[in-house]
Chains A and B, each alone.
Chain A
Amino acid sequence: MSVQHPLEHRHEAPGFWRKYLFSTDHKTIGIQYAITAMFFLLFGFALIMLIRWQLAYPGKPFPIPFLASLLGEARMVSGIMLPEFYNELGAMHGTIMIFLGVVPLAVGAFGNYVMPLQIGAPDMAFPRINMASYWAYFLGGIVMLGSFFVPGGAASSGWTSYPPLANIATQGQTFWLIGMVFLITSSLLGSINFIATIVQLRAKGLSFFRLPFFVWAQFVTAFLLLLAFPPLEAAGVLQLMDRLFGTSFFLPSGLVVGGKALEVSGGGNPLLWQHLFWFLAHPEVYVLILPAMGIVAEIIANNTRKPLWGYKPLVYSVLFLGFMSFIVWAHHMFITGMGTVMSTFFQATTMIISIPSVVILTSLIISLWGASIRYTVPMLFALAFLPMFGIGGLTGLPLGLASSDIHLHDTYYVIGHFHYVVAPGTLLALFAGVYYWFPKVTGRMMSEKLGKIHFWLSLIFINGVFLPMFFQGMAGVSRRLYDPTTYAYGKVVQPLNIVMSYSAWLLAVAQIFFLINLVYSIWKGEKASSDNPWDATTLEWATPTPPPHGNFLTPPEVYHGPYEYSVPGRKTDFLPQNQSE
């Protein structure tokens, strides 16, 4: 640094390393995030496909002997998955999907690539910190993957890592904690960058109430990441202390493990972990959903050719949602024996937080009213998001009331609830985003035909996976159960497991159409008709394609709100933000 200052060398053509691996350009970093996150999504999906075999056919040998022998005796004995391995798969599926898949794709990839373009900025406020954020994420991913190979295997105490179980788990748990520290660092660096960029770097004329809704969603998301993750980091540090230095933050006195008294000082409190964890993890679920809502809002406005219905209510709702998400966390803990005062408070806040969710959903649905909708592939995915998120949100209400939650807690109903929000919800929205912004990134369109096949198959099978979960859960089947036929009530709904498993495997097949489409279209896709093939209004379409380093040829200036579609008396049915008239 004493002689070099990279920012001042921007005009030189960067070498291979700087250009593709250690780039500070938000677009390259966004693409790096996208590729890595998609890999992790596939990997996490693969883990759960293994589990789906055990759930559909408990105790039957695995049908692919080659894979079974590859996994080895420590994980599968004569083709039958061991319970310990089952637990590893479950814990790591959740961890990978949330922290290494969906969030990095929704925030790291889409946020990084699109947000600076939409606000008319040349880059993020801190390009090198942006790069560091990606590499911290990458290292966190490596640590998590590596944990599968340590003695005893990967973490196996669920993505929630509840003590005392997690405290006494094998070494993989230590790796999990260290991996999380990297991931938390990454999202901390990222969120600082996002907020600073949105506040400081907006183009001339782009006031806050002219921001595209996607930017608002990223803005609130960044605040959630900034403020909610540190308590989990604190919790992680305490659990690391417990595991490495023998403290008892989460271990009560007199704990007996395997018939023997645990030799620790005791005096700790397992509930402390739950409080710290859910203080993060409830805001985290909004981190999973808000960017998806942002993407869907952009696509709906663009394909209905109308302004969004209720832009301001949308914005106020998302702000209110962000704020409220910090005071509902204990609805995950209703059965921990909290008093009625506590539970009343958290039931009330949980009911209150559903209001802005409903407002957002309603605004988006009313936006469709009377529109001549263009059924493009991104629009199909965006439309499907609405009912899927609706199911996910509505099924959350019974969970938010303690009396019904006592019955439903820790059953497949909960799994169904949150998957409806995150999988048929957020994932479909993320696909929508890929199809929508692909032409900006590559200058080519993705194939309509393959896209439609991908859409319909995904929609059908993803519901095939998750819809039956509600029925299993209401029948009493608990989550994290290695053999669902252990109990009589599980046997009754066991046939559903076979339906769900086949749906999951077919869902995987459906993704082949997506992958082929993605790779094929990068090189061979139909050329986009212009820099703005969707006739959109927001600033990302005002750049050359793909946008060069520095993004805009001349600093853009903004004259309108984000969704000036079908303005009466104009030749075209859209008025870009940067066109004065």
Chain B
Amino acid sequence: MMEIPYTVKPHPVTGVYNGKFGIWLFLASEVMLFGALFSAYVLLRVGADTWPRGSALLNVPLATLNTMLLITSSVTMVMSWASLKVNNFGKYRFYFASTIFLGLAFLVVKSFEYGAKFEHNHFPSTDTFYAIYFTLTGLHGLHVLGGILVNTYLLSTAKSMWNRDPEHMTNRIECAGLYWHFVDLVWIFLFPVLYLL
């Protein structure tokens, strides 16, 4: 009976374990997804007679706050992985929980922003600017939410996994981190494109 190789240990040639290779492929497809949406944005904007300046309609201070939250969460994500690398499970737990918490804070701020727009009768159907704004930020928000759910699950099983197979556990956090940084990166693009330009 053969077992699947390289589930935990890196492949001698590619230098990565299967999961990490998989997550990179997944992120490549995500780049194409958001790339397509950004292209759609460009095409719509180029084709429009007038296009509002994002800063005139959207709440830049709140978005700046959100940018800070996400960047910080990426930092704590790295710290949590680094803590596992030096076998400090307690620290991992603290940093990883902070990442989840910061992600949640991002969503709360975002929902306040949405709420304010709805109050002023600005909906996706209002015009093309709001349509693309809500679509892009909404899809990004779903990615944040997905990350939070998976991270929460990972945190809840962390202890037993750590006791059983610490290397596998560390790998998982590394993969979760790669995804999280990507979600962060998308926001770094969204913020200037939608709010500033």
Given the known inter-chain contacts A125-B4, A237-B139, please indicate yes or no for A188 contacting B128, CB distance below 8 A. no
Chain B residues with CB under 8 A of A246:
123-125
The segment from A298-306, A454-462, A547-555 found at the interface with B is A547-555
- Say yes or no: A226-B33 contact (C-beta < 8 A), given A265-B127, A267-B128: no
A291–B158 alpha-carbon span in the complex (Å): 41
B47 part of interface (Cβ distance < 8 Å): yes
Residues of A within 8 A of B37 (CB): 234, 237-238
Interface-facing stretch out of B6-14, B59-67, B88-96:
B6-14
Tell me the complex Cα distance, A199–B43, Å. Answer: 37
The reply to whether A195 and B25 contact each other, CB–CB distance below 8 Å, is yes
Contact B22 A125, beta carbon cutoff 8 Å: yes
Residues in B whose Cβ lies below 8 Å from that of A11: 1
CA distance A228 to B134 in the complex (A): 24
Select from chain A the residue with minimum beta-carbon distance to B16: A200
Tell me the minimal C-beta distance from B50 to chain A in angstroms.
9
**B127 and A192 form a contact (CB under 8 A):** no
The residue in A1, A123, A247 that gathers the most chain B C-beta atoms within 10 A of its C-beta is A247
Contacts of B131 in A (CB 8 A): 241, 247-249, 265
Asked if residues B25 and A249 are in contact (CB atoms below 8 Å), the reply is no
Interface flags for B128-165 (1: CB within 8 Å of A; 0: not) read: 10011011000100000000000001001100100010
Across the interface, A201 reaches (CB within 8 A) one of B5, B32, B135, B156, namely: B5
CA distance A233 to B35 in the complex (A): 12
Determine whether the beta carbon of A272 is less than 8 Å from that of B135: no
B33 touches A231 (CB 8 A): yes
Q: Does A245 lie at the interface of the complex (its beta carbon under 8 Å from any beta carbon of B)?
A: yes
**What 0/1 readout, one digit per residue, does chain A (269-289) give for beta carbons within 8 Å of chain B?**
100100110010000000000
Q: In the complex, are the beta carbons of A226 and B25 less than 8 A apart?
A: yes
A371 within 8 A of B: no
Q: Are A272 and B44 in contact (CB-based, < 8 A)? A: yes
Within 8 Å CB of A267, what residues of B?
A: 44, 48, 127-128
A192 CB contact (under 8 Å) in B25, B44, B47: B25
The answer, yes or no, to whether B21 is at the interface (CB within 8 Å) is yes
In the complex, whether A122 has a CB less than 8 A from a CB of chain B is yes
> Which listed residue (B5, B40, B127, B134) contacts A276, Cβ 8 A?
B40
Contact partners of A238 in chain B: CB under 8 A: 37, 40, 135
Q: Is A7 an interface residue (CB 8 A)?
A: yes
Question: Which size class do A's interface residues fall under?
Answer: 35 or more
**Do residues A230 and B32 form an inter-chain contact, with CB atoms below 8 A?**
yes
Among the listed B2, B4, B125, which residue makes an inter-chain contact with A247, where contact means beta carbons less than 8 Å apart?
A: B125
Q: Does A2 contact B (CB under 8 A)?
A: yes
Q: How large is the interface on B (under 10, 10 to 19, 20 to 34, 35 or more residues)?
A: 35 or more
Contacts of B1 in A (CB 8 A): 10-11, 122, 549-550
A245 / chain B contacts, CB cutoff of 8 Å: 123-125, 134
A122–B3 touching, CB < 8 Å: yes
Beta-carbon contact of B33 and A2 below 8 Å = no
Choose one: A226, A231, A249; the contact of B128 (CB below 8 Å): A249
Q: Does A3 touch B at the CB level, under 8 Å?
A: yes
Given A230-B36, A550-B2, decide whether A196 and B21 contact each other with a Cβ distance below 8 A.
yes
Interface pair B6/A201, CB less than 8 Å apart: yes
- CB distance B36 to A235 under 8 Å? yes
8 Å CB contacts to B: which residues of A312-362? none
Contact B128 A268 (CB under 8 A): yes
- Asked if A158 is at the interface of the complex by the 8 Å CB criterion, the answer is no
Q: Are B29 and A126 in contact (CB under 8 A)?
A: no
- Of the residues A10, A241, A549, A555, contact of B135 by C-beta under 8 Å: A241
Contact A196 B2, CB 8 Å, known A2-B160, A269-B43: no
Question: Is A435's CB within 8 Å of the partner chain B?
Answer: no
The residue in chain A whose Cβ has the minimal distance to the Cβ of B32 is A230
Task: Verify B28–A265 contact, CB threshold 8 A.
Answer: no
Q: Would you list the 4 A-B pairs with minimal beta carbon distance, nearest first?
A: A246-B125, A247-B131, A231-B36, A122-B2
24 A-B pairs with C-beta separation under 8 A: A2-B157, A3-B160, A10-B3, A122-B2, A122-B4, A129-B22, A192-B25, A192-B29, A199-B11, A200-B11, A200-B21, A201-B4, A227-B28, A231-B32, A237-B139, A245-B134, A249-B40, A249-B44, A267-B128, A268-B44, A268-B128, A272-B40, A275-B43, A550-B1
Contacts A200-B6, A230-B36, A279-B36 aside, 6 further interface pairs with beta carbons under 8 A come to A125-B18, A237-B37, A247-B125, A247-B128, A265-B128, A554-B2
